[in-house]
Structure 1
């Protein structure tokens, strides 16, 4: 007969569920680690000492190699939180060689799994060690030292009893900076509360937090937009930017780096801001200046305007207000008027993005073929 669960067991189950349910992993996109590869084992200087073997020669074996440290990209990981707390990684040294031709055992390697899109640089030299942009891409972070040679290698016709051997080489050591830059085709940028999170919810399965106050988005969100059965692209949403972001004001400046790998930027504009004194034209121009201050290459990326919340405008004045804004901005690029909340106009936008990305791939392939 099965025993009924005790009250203590029931309390434990309730406590476990409270701690584990709906607890998203904290998003960490920067970390610093130290890696120490193992030293190679020393070679041995030894001679055979066996009964009935009067002229046994040298039999010192080689030392084993020290363990190396590798990084591998894993698409199932999306944060560097593991490396924020565990910062030192050290492999074991190789074993020394011994007599009777016994070679030392090599040490096992360490493989660090990191999110796809992680950029690894040497803190002291600024050199890029690896850029993990493909799933299962592997990179060497610290090479283990090779083992030393035993006196077995130094015997010759003129040196029949060599006492030479070599020491193992030291392993590499370095301090590395890990920087995660998410891989997305399209990036959303705009002022706080412009409707970026609502837009990514409308066009993809991503479910970032949405509220009627600024800075509801505290870290980047990725969503896959499926236009057709075999046509899709990845879109990224970052916290809203405000004037002075390049100098560190607000939140978005910390996450602008996540837009550097995108091929297209969507500048979302709030057509009905909460603050009645807000000027959309000034906000757009201020954000563009912040992009230019932060990174010239990001500023030069292709950018489209997305006029959001047009459903809140009077229907008979909607087109005129949008055209007036475009005229005041002096904008000559592509723009789309839509409502992310109701979904009106979102389908037209996603198809246009898909066509642009596909054309971009074709042109890139043509250029590579011409070379």
Structure 2
């Protein structure tokens, strides 16, 4: 359950009281006052925690009270200081004084702390009041009370990119395609009731956070619909993606919808419209969508288009015709639905693919951003020596998953463009086949991973229990691993494009297509 606003009460601990005491012991020449001071009360802190995404825990702990310090002791012993109370909250938490509305702090960094209520000081014992004029005071202090406050705590989603638009325009579908976020998606109209965050990977060690924010309606800035509950989450986004339906169904005008949502953003915060905005035209496969897009473009002005997905030779030609039709340059094209499938649109390269000449330059750019050259050389040496093991296999699968659509990769290789259309397109990151292979390898011991020849019936039976796979499935994966190793060794020994084409032709006859795939 998502919770983004909670009202709480916090109270620092009371300081311990000082005491009046005197030291009178046999053989102690100098006695006198010996009353110790009280310990300090504990303070209440918030701590920003990266792994949290809701204030739900805080909603069940609306009274945060730190412990009191203990009173002073005789023999001039100081009372124990109380421990501070640290409560974890998500990064992006903002704290306000509920009575004055003043902001007390904004937690934006992992591990950042914020003092909410300070504990009281301990009272002084009579030892502290001794002077040469009054060497035996009989006075002490009470401990101070800790601070007590009523606070309003808000969570403002920390995201680089925020998706905005009317309900059911395709925001949830978009974030589920480019990240591992799984918001509810359905055929009927409804709105997401809470923000969903997705981590989008764009290359090796590069990523950004995208937020699917609840749908806006007209009057949201005045509290209509989810109102302010939604708009506060967009304040931190550096880039806004405005998703607009282009189908024009239900008497909706894409341009009017776009203007209404922008007015709500402007009414809430004038600075929002100054941020970079990308317009995502959704439902372009429906009737009248292209006509509506042309009208939309003329009214607002567009300086570039991103074609979200085209696949195969025919759609490659469609990409060129779209660029001509809308009379604005295509900036990016997507050969699949994942971020690695997004590439800069270069007409000459598209023509080259259509002619069957491939796109070696584009393939080099895509792979260089993901493949570690040093590791690739190490794996190549292992393959030639016949030392390729399951650890290497798993590492190669993880690397391949970052390259995107298998069809898009094959289409870039000269001479294999037609073969790309015949291959079964695979999502190497999320497919059930890859999940099963990873489960199998994960159930092996370190020695079994390093030495594939150790596999025997008893080991397979143990791995079957650990991975949840049947022995038949395990045997199939092991056999395909051996075939993949043989093909890779054969390719590395022959080298060149001829070896690759021979390997691809053999792959056509294998169950499941790709070696190692079920």
TM-score, with normalisation over the residues of structure 1? 0.80
Partner secondary structure for residue 312 of structure 1: coil
Deviation at 1:164, TM superposition (A): 3.0
Deviation at 1:51, TM superposition (A): 3.1
Paired position in structure 1 for 2:199: 224
Paired position in structure 2 for 1:324: 295
Q: Does 1:160 align with 2:168?
A: no
Structure 1 Cα separation of the partners of residues 185 and 254 of structure 2: 21
Distance 1:251 1:158, change over 3 A: closer
Structure 1 Cα separation of the partners of residues 342 and 5 of structure 2: 31
Residues 95-114 of structure 1 mapped to structure 2, 5 A cutoff: 95-114=70-89
Cα shift readout 1:306-363 (whole Å, capped 9, x = no counterpart): 112223357xx83x642321112x23565545369x96686599668xxxxxxxxxxx
170, 180, 198: which one pairs with 1:205? 180
Structure 2 Cα separation of the partners of residues 140 and 252 of structure 1: 30
Unpaired runs of at least 5, structure 2? 316-333, 345-518
Structure 2 Cα separation of the partners of residues 213 and 321 of structure 1: 22
Deviation at 1:125, TM superposition (A): 2.1
Structure 2 Cα separation of the partners of residues 130 and 217 of structure 1: 29
Deviation at 1:52, TM superposition (A): 4.0
Residues 257-272 of structure 1 mapped to structure 2, 5 A cutoff: 257-272=232-247
Deviation at 1:247, TM superposition (A): 2.4
Q: Does the 8 A contact of 1:38 with 1:91 survive in 2?
A: yes
Residues 1-371 of structure 1 mapped to structure 2, 5 A cutoff: 26-53=1-28, 56-251=31-226, 253-275=228-250, 277-313=251-287, 318=290, 321-328=292-299, 330-332=300-302, 336-338=306-308, 347=339
Tell me which structure has the larger Cα radius of gyration.
Answer: 2
Range that drifts further, 52-61 or 117-126: 52-61
Cα-Cα RMSD:
2.4
Distance 1:185 1:351, change over 3 A: farther
Unpaired runs of at least 5, structure 1? 1-25, 353-371
Deviation at 1:86, TM superposition (A): 2.3
Distance 1:194 1:184, change over 3 A: same
Cα shift readout 1:172-228 (whole Å, capped 9, x = no counterpart): 111111100111000000111111111111111111111122224221001111111
Q: Does the 8 A contact of 1:246 with 1:294 survive in 2?
A: yes
Partner secondary structure for residue 141 of structure 1: strand
Partner secondary structure for residue 293 of structure 1: helix
Q: Does the 8 A contact of 1:144 with 1:170 survive in 2?
A: yes
Deviation at 1:141, TM superposition (A): 0.8
Structure 2 Cα separation of the partners of residues 194 and 45 of structure 1: 73
Cα shift readout 1:142-187 (whole Å, capped 9, x = no counterpart): 1101111112122233321122322222111111111001110000
Range that drifts further, 151-160 or 177-186: 151-160
TM-score, with normalisation over the residues of structure 2? 0.58
Partner secondary structure for residue 229 of structure 2: helix
Range that drifts further, 116-125 or 99-108: 99-108
Range that drifts further, 150-159 or 193-202: 150-159
Partner secondary structure for residue 311 of structure 1: coil
Paired position in structure 2 for 1:17: none
Distance 1:66 1:213, change over 3 A: same
Higher strand share: 1
